[in-house]
Structure 1
Amino acid sequence: MHAITRSGWIEVISGSMFSGKTEELLRRLRRAEIAGRSVGVFTPAVDDRYGETTIGSHAGRQWEATVVDNEGEGPRDILDDRPIAEVIAIDEANFFSNALVDVCETLADGGSRVIVSGTDQTFRGEPFEPLPQLMATAEYVDKLQAVCSECGEPASRNQRLIDGAPAHADDPTILVGAAESYEARCRDCHVLVTGRSDD
């Protein structure tokens, strides 16, 4: 992946929901552990789908993690974790504030391998900060695709569902959920409701 040097770097694993982002993050963590590297894993406080102190994939694999406040300056708490691990993994980066970008830069500048996972688009198909900034500053970026639940083509978008119907564009950006609230969709099958009907 990277030459053996004293420098750190940032890796971003991105894509739509159900594309295997966390599964890939866990695979890289297992390999780092086999290689004898110290590992630190962090997850946002807002995401407790797999337990408060665990990151997990939809396939059922899990890893113990430290919960970090995802709002405001909360991501800076990652820097307080001592000693700083050789490999730092941050899951669901899309739930963190933009302070995460500086945190990742500081960790990489300090010699850590920083692996960040998260979806890069909101359910509206818009950039989901801070992922676009992290992708721009990372040394390595992998954008994974799922399978469109409608047509079977490669999917790069997150279709939010409310009672089985596409969500409205005015709905809140963050809604933690899985298959009950989201589907992976391709560009053609992604639906965004923009008009409100009068009752």
Structure 2
Amino acid sequence: MLFSEHNFKRRKELGGSIEIICGSMFSGKTEELIRRLRRAQIAKLNVEIFKPKTDTRYDETSVVSHDLNSIHSTPVESANSILLLGANTEVVGIDEAQFFDDELPDVCNKLANRGIRVVIAGLDMDFQGRPFGPMPALMSIAELVTKVHAVCVQCGGPATYSYRTAASEAKILLGEKESYEPRCRMCYNSSSDI
């Protein structure tokens, strides 16, 4: 009984929780998510990791950081799939939460109420500096919110914005350094149409 009933019972007795890791692009969100999930695996907890099926930038089935650290995940179409697939686990990890549907906060609450630790990473703002997808609702129900910062490529200060350099007005544009750069508020506003 490696994943023992005792461990699952112990986790349920402690109660579940929701942890958010948020920030701009290139701030280390996925790196921190992978770090927390690996620590849970070292503690011999049963861990399931999910990402949106649409995010295939680095790999179809793994969550991969910009530093190319990775952890196996299950790509899913919708938040409700996480509820079904993550039901019998102790820790659920979710990457790129901003790309999920509006059911994600409800799904995460249900998992946490079952005694599951839910660790979520995602952009808190889109390229226009507006709250992104279900992230604001997730942040409001979380026990722990960690905001990580990138380095502004213009001035070297702490960056909290994802400045889009590609010519596109689409709300969602999957991309990397060819399409986005991290900027602080001042540098973002000096180059933006706000």
TM-score by length of 1: 0.88
The yes-or-no answer on 1:14 pairing with 2:12 is: no
What one-letter code is carried by the residue in structure 2 that aligns with 1:98? D
Pairing 1:69-148 to 2, within 5 Å after superposition:
69=77, 74-81=78-85, 84-148=88-152
Choose which of 31, 34, 48 in structure 1 pairs with 2:56: 48
Which residues of structure 2 form unaligned runs of 5+?
Answer: 1-10
Distance (Å, rounded) in 2 between the aligned partners of 1:142 and 1:117: 9
Match of 1:65 in 2: 73
CA contact (8 A) 2:48 2:86 kept: no
Secondary structure at 2:136's aligned position in 1?
A: helix
* CA root-mean-square deviation: 1.6
For the residues of structure 2 that align with 1:141 and 1:77, how far apart are their CA atoms? 24
> Which amino acid in structure 2 is aligned with residue 177 of structure 1?
G
Post-superposition offset of 1:103: 0.6
Task: Give a deviation string over 1:65-95, Cα, whole Å, max 9, x none.
Answer: 10111xxxx2101111165210000000011
Deviations 1:111-146 (A, max 9, x none): 100000001001000111211110000000000110
In the alignment, which residue of structure 2 is the partner of 1:197? none
Name segments (4+ residues, structure 1) moved above 2 Å.
191-194
Secondary structure at the aligned position of 1:183 is classed as strand
Aligned residues: 182
Shift in Å, 1:148: 0.1
Cα contact 2:86–2:92 (8 A) shared by 1:
no
Distance 2:180 2:16 in 1: 35
Secondary structure of the corresponding residue to residue 79 of structure 1:
helix
Other-structure match for 1:172? 170
Alpha-carbon separation, structure 1, partners of 2:118 and 2:86:
15
User: Does the residue aligned with 2:146 lie in a helix, a strand or coil?
Assistant: strand
**Residues 151-166 of structure 1 mapped to structure 2, 5 A cutoff:** 151-162=155-166
Q: What is the aligned-residue identity percentage?
A: 49
Moved more, 148-157 or 184-193: 184-193
Q: Could you say which residue in structure 2 is the equivalent of 1:33?
A: 41
Name the one with the larger helix percent. 2
**TM-score normalised by structure 2 residue count:** 0.90
